[in-house]
Amino acid sequence: MEPTAVTSKGQVTIPKKLRQQLGIRQGSRIEFSLVGDHAEMRVKSSPAGEVGKGFGLLKSSRASVAAGFDAATLLKPKL
Protein backbone atom coordinates (compact mmCIF):
# COMPACT_ATOMS: atom_id res chain seq x y z
CA MET A 1 0.00 0.00 0.00
CA GLU A 2 1.13 3.51 -0.68
CA PRO A 3 1.07 5.98 2.22
CA THR A 4 -1.04 9.14 2.02
CA ALA A 5 -1.03 12.35 4.07
CA VAL A 6 -3.79 13.61 6.34
CA THR A 7 -4.88 17.23 5.84
CA SER A 8 -5.57 19.71 8.65
CA LYS A 9 -9.29 18.85 8.23
CA GLY A 10 -8.64 15.12 8.72
CA GLN A 11 -9.09 14.31 5.02
CA VAL A 12 -7.07 11.74 3.06
CA THR A 13 -6.88 10.84 -0.61
CA ILE A 14 -7.78 7.23 -1.37
CA PRO A 15 -5.33 5.99 -4.03
CA LYS A 16 -6.86 5.83 -7.54
CA LYS A 17 -6.20 2.11 -8.01
CA LEU A 18 -7.99 1.32 -4.74
CA ARG A 19 -10.93 3.61 -5.63
CA GLN A 20 -11.30 1.84 -8.97
CA GLN A 21 -11.14 -1.64 -7.42
CA LEU A 22 -13.77 -0.74 -4.80
CA GLY A 23 -16.00 1.29 -7.14
CA ILE A 24 -15.61 4.44 -5.06
CA ARG A 25 -16.57 7.64 -6.88
CA GLN A 26 -18.06 11.04 -6.06
CA GLY A 27 -21.10 10.55 -3.85
CA SER A 28 -20.04 7.12 -2.52
CA ARG A 29 -20.87 6.49 1.15
CA ILE A 30 -18.00 5.14 3.25
CA GLU A 31 -18.12 3.69 6.78
CA PHE A 32 -15.12 3.61 9.14
CA SER A 33 -14.75 1.41 12.21
CA LEU A 34 -11.99 0.91 14.76
CA VAL A 35 -10.74 -2.69 14.93
CA GLY A 36 -8.06 -3.19 17.56
CA ASP A 37 -5.23 -0.83 16.68
CA HIS A 38 -6.32 -0.02 13.11
CA ALA A 39 -9.27 1.43 11.21
CA GLU A 40 -11.30 -0.43 8.60
CA MET A 41 -13.15 1.25 5.76
CA ARG A 42 -16.22 -0.21 4.05
CA VAL A 43 -18.05 1.07 0.98
CA LYS A 44 -21.71 1.29 2.02
CA SER A 45 -23.08 2.57 -1.30
CA SER A 46 -21.99 4.06 -4.59
CA PRO A 47 -24.15 6.18 -6.88
CA ALA A 48 -25.29 4.60 -10.14
CA GLY A 49 -23.18 5.61 -13.13
CA GLU A 50 -24.64 8.36 -15.30
CA VAL A 51 -25.17 7.94 -19.02
CA GLY A 52 -22.65 9.96 -20.97
CA LYS A 53 -19.98 9.83 -18.27
CA GLY A 54 -17.99 7.20 -20.18
CA PHE A 55 -16.53 9.63 -22.71
CA GLY A 56 -12.86 8.84 -23.25
CA LEU A 57 -12.94 5.42 -21.59
CA LEU A 58 -12.38 3.50 -24.81
CA LYS A 59 -8.98 3.90 -26.37
CA SER A 60 -7.99 2.99 -29.90
CA SER A 61 -4.58 2.26 -31.35
CA ARG A 62 -5.69 3.80 -34.67
CA ALA A 63 -4.87 7.37 -35.59
CA SER A 64 -7.71 9.85 -35.18
CA VAL A 65 -9.59 11.21 -38.20
CA ALA A 66 -9.65 14.92 -38.89
CA ALA A 67 -12.89 16.67 -37.92
CA GLY A 68 -13.49 17.90 -41.50
CA PHE A 69 -12.93 14.48 -43.10
CA ASP A 70 -15.55 13.56 -45.73
CA ALA A 71 -15.92 9.80 -46.26
CA ALA A 72 -17.47 10.43 -49.69
CA THR A 73 -14.01 11.37 -50.98
CA LEU A 74 -13.02 7.71 -50.63
CA LEU A 75 -15.59 6.60 -53.22
CA LYS A 76 -14.30 6.31 -56.76
CA PRO A 77 -16.63 7.69 -59.42
CA LYS A 78 -18.04 5.03 -61.78
CA LEU A 79 -17.38 5.72 -65.46
Q: Indicate the domain borders of the chain.
A: 1-47
* 77 φ, ψ (degrees, to nearest 5): -70, 140
Tens digits of residue pLDDT in 19-36:
889 888 888 999 999 999
Model pTM above 0.85: no
Q: Output the CA–CA distances (angstroms, integers) from residue 40 to 6, 8, 31, 32, 34, in the order listed.
A: 16, 21, 8, 6, 6
CA distances, 11 to each of 4, 24, 50, 67 (Å): 10, 16, 26, 43
Q: How confident is residue 52, by pLDDT bands cut at 50, 70 and 90?
A: low
**Which among 40, 3, 7 is positioned nearest to 22, based on CA atoms?**
40
**Topology (CATH level 3) of domain 1-47:** Pemi-like Protein 1; Chain: D (2.10.260)
